[in-house]
Structure 1
């Protein structure tokens, strides 16, 4: 049974209920003195607590997509062991195809497709899995020569790429918005920023370590562009993410405006943390450390010609004050353009981001169309 399986959650919840009932039923017998009675009480209470916490943990993981499987949970992630054929020069291999949830009809031309792919960076040697959403128009004969704008979509840390499909509904939302004429049909490349699991690289080019920023800014667009009909014009790539992915999205757009015409940070922060999950990101290199601080970038680097979107909530988000300050600083630094979504209430969770994603995709489509 998989970590994210409904069966696993049902078994854990059922065990918790059964153990609770057993505790109530057997407690009179175990209320005596003596080693066996004491051991029985301790055993029942411990087993009930373990089952209860397991149920809560599994439910939280299903809701927020922290870990994709048991190997991911226990730090034994082996998802990178995929051989990628580089003969085509793109470093991308399609592994699976699936329908878009909620799409009408089974044909790609009517509902689009989600493809699981393996990507290997040509210059960074970083390999990872991603999900690529292709809109219905991509498969329609009248659009066979059409190219499409594209956006990288990033999870938080640790996050799972699958959560972007199943929990945050990016493909379904993009298809529905395009069908309603609210956004241009767009290719979405969905993955997590954790390209060297379990380490959190914060999309930094770590000196002597994973070149995460270069992978997202150079290798990934190159590999996707070599395999799919992505519009080659400058500024037709966007990047959007939540939490850690939101920080990465803003940083990538600010550092690489020649690639990304727009970057949207949902519940983003503005300076990379250094903690037990990141390790030493900078290794004494002040230039790398400064570039990971978006406040420093606003003050010391030329203002990039790109569009940024930030989101927060007046109640429930810890980045609210920082987000307002970030907006003011960017407003004073043309030609960078800044927009925001500020909710009255909303926590740092999937429910909040689902409320922001339709407007964010519509905003991004408009900015990429302008490019």
Structure 2
């Protein structure tokens, strides 16, 4: 049973209930004075509390998608991947940076047929420049498999979770491929390849998508390695105008930052409940190496004030009640100047959670698609 297994959650809940019942049943028998009765009462209380906390922790992890496995939780899985390159047709091609691990249906009506609903491919991406190795899902739209489009390149969007997040949540909770398939069929969204992964590409560290001095070069991975690997193995455009990037929370900050700092790589960005600057904390370690200028350059409000405005489009979202970043989001919108353009989705209320992001995602995905060139 894995960390996100329903069976594990049910088992731990059953243990918690049993521990509570045992406490009620045995407490009168342990009400006497003496070391053994006291130790018994302490044991019952401690065991019951630990079981309840474990059940709550598993339920919260399952809902928010923080950690996918015990190895992910403890950061013990450091095994490097082996690169086996594939072309879009699924045959070995000798192209760089991508290992094909399997395919799955999209989960919409007609999902068994790639020509009708598209297809989800599970891949392993290995950065030839940075050496970063991370899993991802690639959604290919139905047109990718249709004869009429066999020579066409498609726009692509990188989709990021928050920190630490699980890539699976982009499919199971956020439903990016399902939404894309439905909206492409309805004509709301142009056929677009989605590359879905989490920003935590060197777990468990939260790198905030930075090239950390003397550390992992995560920004280079997303702006060079990832794009090169996808472009080498799928029919995607290779100009910045063909690429967008979207994410929630930390993923939203990463999306906004990488498009603003690298407009030649990403011309459109969507930040669902994103923030605009970062700092050192226990999950990040030392991000800046004491370099104040580097810290400033990862602050997007500072960037708007001190750097030329990038020629990109950005969409930011928040809510008037329930989101901590509402005032910062409005300040960011006000600070944007040409040639950068900005749009927003501001809800009357909504917290920093999947429920809120699922309300924003359909319109946001459509809008980003409209800003990507074929």
TM range (shorter): over 0.9
2:59 is aligned to 59
2:88 is aligned to none
Q: RMSD of aligned C-alpha atoms?
A: 1.6
1:313 is aligned to 319
Is contact 2:74–2:204 with CA below 8 Å preserved after alignment? Answer: no
In 2, the alpha carbon distance for the partners of 1:365 and 1:339 equals 14
Task: State the TM-score, normalized to the length of structure 2.
Answer: 0.94
Paired residue secondary structure (1:104): coil
Paired residue secondary structure (1:230): coil
Q: What displacement does 1:236 show?
A: 1.0
2:211 is aligned to 205
1:109 aligns with 2:112: no
1:72 is aligned to 72
1:82 is aligned to 81
2:140 is aligned to 134
Query: What pairs with 1:38-187 in structure 2 (closer than 5 Å)?
Result: 38-78=38-78, 81-85=80-84, 88-187=94-193
Paired residue secondary structure (1:161): coil
State which of 192, 196, 202 in structure 2 corresponds to 1:196.
202
In 1, the alpha carbon distance for the partners of 2:132 and 2:111 equals 37
1:277 aligns with 2:283: yes
Moved more, 52-61 or 135-144: 135-144
1:217 aligns with 2:217: no
How many residue pairs are counted as aligned between the two chains? Answer: 367
Paired residue secondary structure (2:168): helix
1:7 is aligned to 7
1:346 aligns with 2:350: yes
Moved more, 52-61 or 225-234: 225-234
Q: Deviations over 1:320-370 (max 9, x none)?
A: 10000000001xx1010001111111111111111111111011011114x
1:248 is aligned to 254
Structure 2 residues not aligned, in runs of 5+:
86-92
In 1, the alpha carbon distance for the partners of 2:226 and 2:111 equals 31
Q: What displacement does 1:314 show?
A: 1.0
Task: State the TM-score, normalized to the length of structure 1.
Answer: 0.95
Structure 1 residues not aligned, in runs of 5+:
none
Q: What displacement does 1:103 show?
A: 4.1
Paired residue secondary structure (1:110): helix
State which of 314, 337, 346 in structure 1 corresponds to 2:341.
337
